[in-house]
Chain A
């Protein structure tokens, strides 16, 4: 039996797993470290400094970055709220109703925005807005973001919903609870962690999008990623590394919250 269990540990796999993490994190850590570099040159280490952070908040380009950050955050918030609502509603329709014809088709439709390559979605959306003569700008970005946020909100919501057994609502129905009561006192409270998790993922995905945004933003409106892209065309400057570090931390914090929510969930289930 010694040999039998050993297929669980293959020599070298642990090293490759650690290598995998090093590959994933090294570039990010390097950029984080260099964002605190005092030197003007991005190659030479000139001591610790917060000057680049100061520059993105108070420097020459501060206004541009603040405007871009405001656009990014408000769009991400609204897109995530709408996408989460749509995804939640669709998840009840797919998961909490009896099996129906076209169920799989509905699930495929909900994941379609992930399946279509981003650049294709970007082109199609640009063509659509220009055909209906819709002015490109803040609103067109928001609409495009809602669409691709839906699957990211749907995945954790439907996963959570599938884990809630139908006996609760059956018991409630036996007690003559109406649909509104079932929704308000059973489904919604049990779904809260899934909804928050879906919202956070949708929010991050919207905050991070570059390709689709750059197609449908029109002239003059920038989000953080498009502003960053515009700046690095002339080379990677230290203030961009500071900005990237901040954005990186925001994403990491939100993902961590989402992770702990689903973990707390898991523990509740086990108890």
Chain B
């Protein structure tokens, strides 16, 4: 029973002061910077990096429309950047699907262990996440290089006649993204399977003969929120990833992250264009999140 006489709690009068530091730090060093970035994306570029404070739609125009080398050709759709964005979406989607294929059974397996063993399994899955992402990607690169251990092994046993040639391909990037974010898929699915009450499935077992249909019709619908959370946690960082495409993909498999990075490195950059590309990426992420929260709240009803 809730005691009525304690309507007010000890820290109520201090609430604003307790929250203030987080508002100030996140507000000043994240929200204002994102606002400035939006502003910059509508400014004119300066040739040595930086901006001129003059309103211009050039950044978004350059992104979408091709006006030829001298800007006087009839405008056509500029595909270069759209293709980079589409490629990023495809790469992130494939990585998410692979994470789901391995992550779901893993999470399900862990959640159905004895309670005292579960946390240890989850610990094993999370440790790699806390290891430096750069180091993990370098390790993966080392492993799958043409003269790396995997190829050497397969070649020496005569299973291959030439190296797989994985490095600098789309597949290497997908593998890198999959490897980077796999723990993100396991954790939320694990949480939702663990909460699932298996007595439902006992009742269902009378209706459906085999466990596959019980899994599909009874367990799966109940763990959809966990699966959705896992997918969003893998998809979002994959979309804007920089390390995996840069180290594993080479020059041909450009993704959004590399495109943005290029605009801010050295003197060749174009800040308004980089800011515009970042805004488009941020918008895509927000749409994905909105879609996700919609879906989650629908699940609650």
Residues B10 and A150 in contact, CB atoms below 8 Å apart? no
Q: In the complex, A10 Cα to B12 Cα: how many Å?
A: 50
Residues B201 and A4 in contact, CB atoms below 8 Å apart? yes
- Chain A contacts of B161 at CB under 8 A? none
Residues B33 and A125 in contact, CB atoms below 8 Å apart? yes
Residues B126 and A146 in contact, CB atoms below 8 Å apart? no
Q: Does A50 contact B (CB under 8 A)?
A: no
Residues B109 and A147 in contact, CB atoms below 8 Å apart? no
Selecting from B57-65, B68-76, B137-145, the interface stretch reads B137-145
- Shortest C-beta distance, B87 to chain A (Å), equals 16
Q: Does B34 contact A (CB under 8 A)?
A: yes
- Shortest C-beta distance, A177 to chain B (Å), equals 8
Interface of A is mostly: helix
Interface of B is mostly: helix
Residues B26 and A147 in contact, CB atoms below 8 Å apart? yes
* Contact A24/B125 with A225-B132, A248-B132 known, Cβ cut-off 8 Å: yes
- Chain B contacts of A146 at CB under 8 A? 25, 29
Per-residue contact bits, chain B 140-163, to A (CB 8 Å; 1 contact, 0 not): 111100011100100000000000
- Shortest C-beta distance, B83 to chain A (Å), equals 19
Identify the closest chain A residue to B202 (Cβ).
A4
Q: Does A61 contact B (CB under 8 A)?
A: no
Interface residues on A, range: 35 or more
Per-residue contact bits, chain B 193-215, to A (CB 8 Å; 1 contact, 0 not): 00000100110011001011011
Q: In the complex, A232 Cα to B243 Cα: how many Å?
A: 12
Q: In the complex, A228 Cα to B247 Cα: how many Å?
A: 12
* Contact A16/B109 with A10-B215, A90-B22, A119-B278 known, Cβ cut-off 8 Å: yes
Q: Does A20 contact B (CB under 8 A)?
A: yes
Q: Does A81 contact B (CB under 8 A)?
A: no
Query: Which one of A1, A28, A169, A228 lies within 8 Å of B134 (CB-CB)?
Result: A228
Chain B contacts with A in 163-179, Cβ cutoff 8 A: 179
Query: Which one of B37, B147, B285 lies within 8 Å of A123 (CB-CB)?
Result: B37
Q: Does B80 contact A (CB under 8 A)?
A: no
Per-residue contact bits, chain A 24-38, to B (CB 8 Å; 1 contact, 0 not): 111110110010000
- Chain B contacts of A241 at CB under 8 A? 142
Q: In the complex, A116 Cα to B282 Cα: how many Å?
A: 7
Q: In the complex, A30 Cα to B9 Cα: how many Å?
A: 54
Identify the closest chain B residue to A252 (Cβ).
B127
Query: Which one of A17, A19, A100 lies within 8 Å of B15 (CB-CB)?
Result: A100
Q: Does B267 contact A (CB under 8 A)?
A: no
Chain B contacts with A in 22-46, Cβ cutoff 8 A: 22-23, 25-26, 29-34, 36-37, 40
- Shortest C-beta distance, B200 to chain A (Å), equals 10
Residues B29 and A86 in contact, CB atoms below 8 Å apart? no
Identify the closest chain B residue to A32 (Cβ).
B139
Identify the closest chain B residue to A102 (Cβ).
B19
- Chain A contacts of B237 at CB under 8 A? 117-118
Q: Does A43 contact B (CB under 8 A)?
A: yes
Residues A147 and B29 in contact, CB atoms below 8 Å apart? yes
Q: Does A57 contact B (CB under 8 A)?
A: no
Q: Does B230 contact A (CB under 8 A)?
A: no
- Shortest C-beta distance, A254 to chain B (Å), equals 8
Per-residue contact bits, chain A 225-238, to B (CB 8 Å; 1 contact, 0 not): 10011001000100
- Chain A contacts of B12 at CB under 8 A? 97-98
Q: Does B250 contact A (CB under 8 A)?
A: no
- Shortest C-beta distance, B125 to chain A (Å), equals 7
- Chain A contacts of B274 at CB under 8 A? 123
Residues A109 and B278 in contact, CB atoms below 8 Å apart? no
- Shortest C-beta distance, A182 to chain B (Å), equals 5
Q: In the complex, A86 Cα to B65 Cα: how many Å?
A: 45
- Shortest C-beta distance, A129 to chain B (Å), equals 8
Selecting from A63-71, A189-197, A204-212, the interface stretch reads A204-212
Q: In the complex, A257 Cα to B103 Cα: how many Å?
A: 25
- Shortest C-beta distance, B105 to chain A (Å), equals 4
- Chain B contacts of A144 at CB under 8 A? 29
Residues A20 and B142 in contact, CB atoms below 8 Å apart? no
Q: Does A42 contact B (CB under 8 A)?
A: yes
* Contact A109/B26 with A98-B9, A123-B260, A127-B33 known, Cβ cut-off 8 Å: yes
- Chain A contacts of B275 at CB under 8 A? 123, 127
Q: Does B295 contact A (CB under 8 A)?
A: no
* Contact A112/B105 with A119-B260, A131-B36 known, Cβ cut-off 8 Å: no
22 residue pairs of the A-B complex, CB under 8 angstroms, read: A3-B209, A4-B201, A6-B211, A24-B128, A28-B135, A42-B142, A43-B152, A87-B22, A93-B11, A97-B15, A98-B8, A109-B26, A116-B30, A119-B256, A143-B29, A173-B10, A179-B11, A179-B14, A210-B134, A251-B131, A256-B127, A259-B119
| Given A26-B143, A123-B275, 14 more pairs with CB closer than 8 A | A3-B209, A7-B211, A16-B109, A20-B106, A24-B179, A93-B11, A98-B7, A115-B285, A116-B30, A124-B30, A146-B29, A201-B130, A251-B132, A259-B119
**B interface, CB within 8 angstroms of A:** 3, 6-12, 14-16, 18-19, 21-23, 25-26, 29-34, 36-37, 40, 50, 102-103, 105-106, 108-110, 112, 119, 121, 123-128, 130-136, 138-143, 147-149, 152, 179, 182-183, 186, 198, 201-202, 205-206, 209, 211-212, 214-215, 218-219, 236-237, 239-240, 242-243, 247, 256-257, 260-261, 264, 271, 274-275, 278, 281-282, 285, 289
